Structure 1
């Protein structure tokens, strides 16, 4: 088991945002977390990354309890996130943004190889490598956010709403690349409001409602689950 979350709860002040969430991610999987706005998807990702402290429960990564570990130390252990809203450094070039993704690494040859790999996955970034990140289109910034996360060479890649604000053609491209990097051996946990895309891609998935896991299963099976179809896929 690569990631194991057990009975995780989280508070925003006096408001309980997560209620005893439990989920797992195995090596080599794509696992999706779907739900409506405000369900707690991004909060869950922030808890896993260490950005928000949990109130109770545990987060284990690679067999180690990381529940109280600082975010930067989680990155060093191979847990890296492409955040909601992309979060690129607007005044830095594309190349500098990607290099920031490798800030924990000292293997210069490996970093160079991974930079080449990112440019192969995202040829547009190679074309824009000298351009400030803040001047890229929304789709290009999403590519940059994913590429920057890959530069840390993570054991688990966390993707928070990778399709947000993108045109349908770019959404297809982003999800095709997620599938490709998974086929190359990358484990992925993706939070996504576009339930159809997420369930079509994921090996397994969890459905989150008001801070609680209410359903889980194989992605393709949840795609045809009547309750899921009605609630998240617009099928009555």
Structure 2
């Protein structure tokens, strides 16, 4: 079943066209990845889905509902949660306080316990540091916190924007392993990532974005084996 559909989406910053006539789908239970160079429009696409950037044209449908004009906070209530590029944690708050903020839109606040337990199972390091202030943590720990905070919203669709950016290699492997685990537990994932090797090897399907337009799509495995993709994004060829 189609969970998310973007149809003919265009986004502008003033006169600058960041995304043009973009159409894509994310089916329930998938990991779908968007790859592309810096400035290709990946993060703009994510902001459009989460409601932070208005569309110049096109429509967004989520779980069968047109959410094109729906406010960002109401999209969280519907089941879309994002761990943004740059992590965006609250640096002056503890790990627990950050995670609690992730659940701010939930009506069932009395039943947060199992979701907090799930985050701590996925990220044992957060459990060890639950009273530590977020701003004093390493980049990898902050990324774990950003993903954990997004999961506290109990999303149907988890948007991950450059989760491996600036991380040490051992953290990159760990983050991608956990993304797969989150998906296997039943959460659909849309992933924007410059680490094409890791992203494509984990994704069910993928789209290639160039200067705001989708130029290629296919299974993660097929794009990983494509010579032009290898040359452009994997440094092979």
Q: Describe how 1:1-236 pairs up with structure 2 within 5 A.
A: 1-236=2-237
Contact 2:103/2:109, CA 8 A, preserved across alignment: no
**How big is each residue's C-alpha offset from its partner over 1:60-83, in whole Å with a ceiling of 9 and x where there is no partner?**
000111111110000000001000
Instruction: Please state how far the C-alpha of 1:108 moved relative to its aligned partner.
Output: 3.4
CA distance in 1 between partners of 2:111 and 2:146 (Å): 19
Cα distance in 2 for residues equivalent to 1:29 and 1:195: 17
Q: TM-score normalized by structure 1?
A: 0.99
SS in 1 for 2:175: helix
CA apart distance, 1:107 = 1.9
Q: Distance in 2 between matches of 1:162 and 1:112?
A: 25
Q: Is the 8 A contact 1:86 1:145 kept in 2?
A: yes
Q: What is the CA–CA distance in structure 1 between the aligned matches of 2:23 and 2:137, rounded to whole Å?
A: 37
Report the Cα offset of residue 116 of structure 1. 0.7
Structure-1 separation of matches of 2:106 and 2:216 = 38
The structural deviation recorded for 1:106 is: 2.8
* SS across alignment from 2:141: helix
Q: Tell me the distance in 1 between the aligned counterparts of 2:205 and 2:106.
A: 31
* Consecutive unaligned residues in structure 2, runs of 5 or more: none
Q: How far apart in 1 are the matches of 2:176 and 2:163?
A: 8
CA contact (8 A) 1:105 1:111 kept: no
Structure 2 CA distance for aligned equivalents of residues 220 and 130 of structure 1 = 41
Contact 1:31 1:189 in 2 (8 A): yes
Q: SS in structure 2 opposite 1:73? A: helix
In 1, distance between residues paired with 2:27 and 2:20? 23
> Per-residue displacement from partner, 1:37-77 (whole Å, max 9, x unpaired)?
01000000000011010100000000111111110000000
* Structure 1 residue 88: Cα displacement: 0.2
**In structure 2, distance between residues paired with 1:54 and 1:27:** 24
In 2, distance between residues paired with 1:95 and 1:171? 23
